[in-house]
A and B are shown apart, each in its own frame.
Chain A
Amino acid sequence: MRTLARLLWQLLHWPGVFALFILGAMFLVQANGSDPSRDNVINALVCSLVLIGGRVLAITGLRNLRLLPNGHQLLVRALAILTLCAALMLGGLAAWIGMGYFTDEPRANIALAFVALSGLSFLFFARDLHGRAQLYAVLGMLSMTAMILAALPRLPEAWSWFAMAGCVVLWALALRTGDRPRARLAAAFDVHDDRESTWLARLQTGALLARAPAATILNANRGMFARPTDAVAVTLTWAVVIYFIAGLQRPGDSIVDATTLIACAAAALMLGQSWVTPARARPLWLLSGASRAGIFKLAEKMLIVNLILLGVIAWLAASGLAWLHDIPVGGGETLLTLAGLLAGGLAPIYFGLLLPTLNHAWQRIPVATLAAITVVLGPAIWIGLVIPDAVDGAEFTHSALALVLVVSCLLLRAIAIQRWKSIDWTRVRNESALPPH
């Protein structure tokens, strides 16, 4: 039972946060009355399930799970529980907005589920691979997504069901074979060889080394920002998937939804990165000579620089969407949007820096919940503030909320820096490290 609980926690840990922000964003859109469509709810479910699916695929690659005699059973049970939860979640939401299920044309949703699942499977498989293979895998995924989307409208309705069935079979195969597809992918791209001569390796290490030594230590190693291509690939992929899911079905009027979601994704990425930063800062204690508060400031500076980079990428993605849909956006407004994206990512940075320093579950759980809510609300408030027409022009409320957000950020920073002054790096260490003894 304990193992099952741990497995469930592993499965829900990050997808839970992502699902929450997607649902929260959808809720916000609906609460603001832009389009209470059933598509929003179904999309939210699709996103949640797809992200959980991606996580499942990543976890099936773990050797320790595969070595457990009841590993498969545990996984199946966990999946069943998750599916039930997702169904209840969807049912509840659907009942709340008073709609029926699958009343017409489920094809688009099924097709999108297939595309997103396939894409994210590739991404998760590729996540542990070296830069070159990862880049190829992401490019492959994007190409495949484009091809499927181009082909789907020409296919008969029944084909969507075949596609769905194929997707389930592929998933089952992935569960059966565990980490073998990953190994095959790695072997196919021949990435375990010496990479000193590859242009990509030189480019990536060059980009890392171009930063200050302390920032290099903080940026390097595990996580989405381990390599510059990771950040670009992950952000672009998310932006594209979100665009397809939130934007394509209702072109034109859903640009704000897509922009909000992209901003939420950027905020979630920042939360993820800052969450691992205290552990990565450990070597700096002896190397940099700085005090704990000094290391906090180094980490904060590095994260803000990363947020600006990410904000620019997210802003480009959002502007690209606006351009594709012929939505006229003024220069001043785009700059305000960029400022909004950056501001929305600030609070998650401080939450991420604070969370690992909390030693007790009763402290972590409420703060993590608050962080997840902020990931959703922060960008939504800012987007609402800079594009007031999109959310019924509720300018005063949004201004007040923005002020609250700014004050909260300052407060959070003060708490985080206080916690860092007594940070215990025996507790806070990289996940791959063994527990202290």
Chain B
Amino acid sequence: MNDPYVSVKGLAKSFGEKRVLAGIDATVRAGDVVGLLGLNGAGKTTLLEILLGLSPPSAGSALLFGNPAVAATATAKARIGFVPQNDELIGLFTGNQYLDLIATFYPDWDARFAEKLVAEWGIEARKIILGYSVGQRQKLSIIAALAHKPDLLVLDEPVASLDPLARRQFLQQIVEAATDERRAVVFSSHIVSDVERLANVIWVLKQGQLLWQGDLDTLKESVIRVHTRADAAPTVRARLRRVVAERSVDLSGHKLVALRAPDEDWSDLEQQLGAGAQIERLGLEDIFVELHS
């Protein structure tokens, strides 16, 4: 198996007394498109910045192309494209000047590709960046991260400010990037439908811990919502090892959300739960909501 691009083990991060991340173990390999989900304040940006070496971990290790991320080599960094949550563009420059400046840092910069995206995405590249809308700034940041064809593309909420058309164009670019098996993409987003559409690996971050990591289909198979009578709820609860949410829906009804434990067998779950319980399979958005409810 190929070496992982990113590998973190026992990763923890604290800012003073505040613990932001704890006990994270994860890997990103070529061909992975990782969708990082989490509520505001869950630690997504911090995690992504640790993966890129921008922030040293408080404990554990973060390896980038086999070396500690905080000591990443120039070769490793040339293989990375990053779109930060808050762009780092130079307001005084025109779009063209900015892209020309960024191009000087990358020997493999594909100027034609950049020009093509600028034209397709309708960026007014001869205008200074101060006059851009938030969406246009976001598009320019994305182009600057894509044009050197990085092996590892990391995007921190890249579509937050894009209009539906630009979002579709952006997603198309990510799909094209993902078809190249040499490349990997890690992106965080609050738009669950985009994550569902693009990602083949999902990371769900909750209160600084990875509540789930694995492929999307397995996640969908591993979370169920069980509708049952209130009086049958204790029996159902006893049979499910990891109940993550539970609530009454009316006087007699009850809902439980369960996440399958790694060694738990759900092959004959319906029979185990009995006739009074109905099992509902969920889409990613519902899973996300239930895991955070």
Contact = CB atoms under 8 A, between A and B. Distances in A.
Contact of B46 (A205, A426, A430): A426
A221 B41 CA distance: 27
A227 B128 CA distance: 14
Interface in B72-126: 73-75, 77-78, 80, 82, 85-86, 88, 90-94, 97, 101-102, 104-105, 126
Interface string A170-213: 00000000000000000000001111100001001100110001
**Interface hub of A201, A286, A427, A437 (most chain B Cβ within 10 A):** A286
Contacts of A216: 90, 101
A434 B85 contact: yes
Interface string A401-437: 0000000000000000000001011110110111011
A347 to B, nearest CB: 28
Given A130-B130, A213-B101, A433 B41 contact: no
A83 interface: no
A230 B276 CA distance: 74
Nearest to A197: B126
A217 interface: yes
Given A432-B86, A433-B86, A204 B52 contact: no
Contacts of B102: 287
A289 B16 CA distance: 29
Contacts of A283: 88
Given A205-B97, A426-B49, A434-B85, A213 B105 contact: yes
Given A205-B97, A359-B16, A426 B128 contact: no
Interface string A206-241: 001100010011001100001100000000000000
A360 interface: yes
B192 to A, nearest CB: 18
Interface string A72-116: 000000000000000000000000000000000000000000000
B46 A217 contact: no
A393 to B, nearest CB: 48
Interface string B183-199: 00000000000000000
Contacts of B54: 282, 285-286, 424-426
A289 B105 CA distance: 8
Contacts of B269: none
B43 A437 contact: yes
A288 B75 CA distance: 10
Contact of B91 (A193, A221, A282, A359): A221
B135 interface: no
Contacts of B126: 194, 196
Nearest to B104: A213
A113 B77 CA distance: 53
A288 to B, nearest CB: 6
Interface in B35-93: 40-46, 49-50, 52-56, 70-71, 73-75, 77-78, 80, 82, 85-86, 88, 90-93
Nearest to B44: A437
B92 A204 contact: yes
Given A422-B56, A437-B46, A288 B105 contact: yes
B24 to A, nearest CB: 15
A201 B101 contact: no
A291 interface: yes
B196 to A, nearest CB: 22
Chain A facing B: main interface SS? loop
Nearest to B38: A437
Nearest to A437: B41
Nearest to A227: B92
Contacts of A196: 94, 126-128
A291 B70 CA distance: 9
Contacts of B94: 196, 205
**Interface hub of A208, A221, A291, A436 (most chain B Cβ within 10 A):** A436
A286 B77 CA distance: 5
B53 A427 contact: no
Interface in A230-278: none
A309 interface: no
Contact of A289 (B40, B49, B56, B77): B77
A327 interface: no
Contacts of A291: 71
A436 B49 contact: yes
B214 interface: no
A104 B2 CA distance: 85
Given A220-B90, A426-B49, A286 B80 contact: yes
Contacts of B15: 359, 427
A205 B100 CA distance: 13
B150 to A, nearest CB: 10
Interface in A313-347: none
Contacts of A433: 86
Interface in A99-148: 130-131
Interface of B: 15-16, 20, 40-46, 49-50, 52-56, 70-71, 73-75, 77-78, 80, 82, 85-86, 88, 90-94, 97, 101-102, 104-105, 126-128, 130-131
User: Which 7 residue pairs across A and B have the least CB separation, nearest first?
Assistant: A289-B74, A426-B55, A220-B90, A425-B54, A433-B86, A287-B105, A437-B41
Given A205-B93, A213-B105, A290-B74, 14 more contacts: A131-B92, A196-B94, A216-B101, A220-B92, A220-B93, A285-B53, A286-B52, A286-B82, A287-B105, A426-B49, A430-B86, A437-B42, A437-B45, A437-B46
26 contacts: A193-B131, A194-B131, A196-B127, A201-B128, A209-B101, A220-B90, A226-B92, A282-B88, A285-B52, A287-B102, A288-B105, A289-B105, A360-B16, A422-B56, A424-B56, A425-B49, A425-B54, A426-B45, A426-B46, A426-B55, A430-B86, A430-B88, A434-B85, A436-B20, A437-B40, A437-B42
